[in-house]
Amino acid sequence: MLAQPYHLYIERTNVAKNMARYYSLEISTTLFGDTCLTRRWGRIGFGGQTMAHHFEDERDAVRLFLALTRQKRAKGYRPCPLRSRALF
């Protein structure tokens, strides 16, 4: 069981370079009780890629979560404001 939820969604956009990327991190518990850090990334509006890292200890997952967050912030990724979406 996780001590607290961990979820992060950040974006990096640059109109001049036609860049619109997203990066998502989430720590969850698997059905077998292991801790899983799931990474998703790609171009905004597309499916992108997914990678899962499995850990026996939540602390190791949190360390990787924070390290990846620091790396992405250094590259210019920032949290995006919530966008209102119309339901059809």
Domains in the chain and their CATH numbers?
6-79 (2.20.140.10)
pLDDT value of position 43: 97
pTM score, whole prediction:
0.84
pLDDT value of position 1: 65
pLDDT value of position 83: 54
- Which bin fits 58, alpha (ψ -120 to 50), beta or left (φ > 0)? alpha
* Average pLDDT of adjacent 10-residue blocks, the chain of 88 residues: 84 95 95 94 95 94 97 94 47
pLDDT value of position 54: 96
pLDDT value of position 28: 95
Instruction: Give dist(CA 23, CA 16) in Å, integer.
Output: 20
Q: How far is CA 38 from CA 7, 17, 19, 48, 51, in A?
A: 10, 28, 23, 13, 6
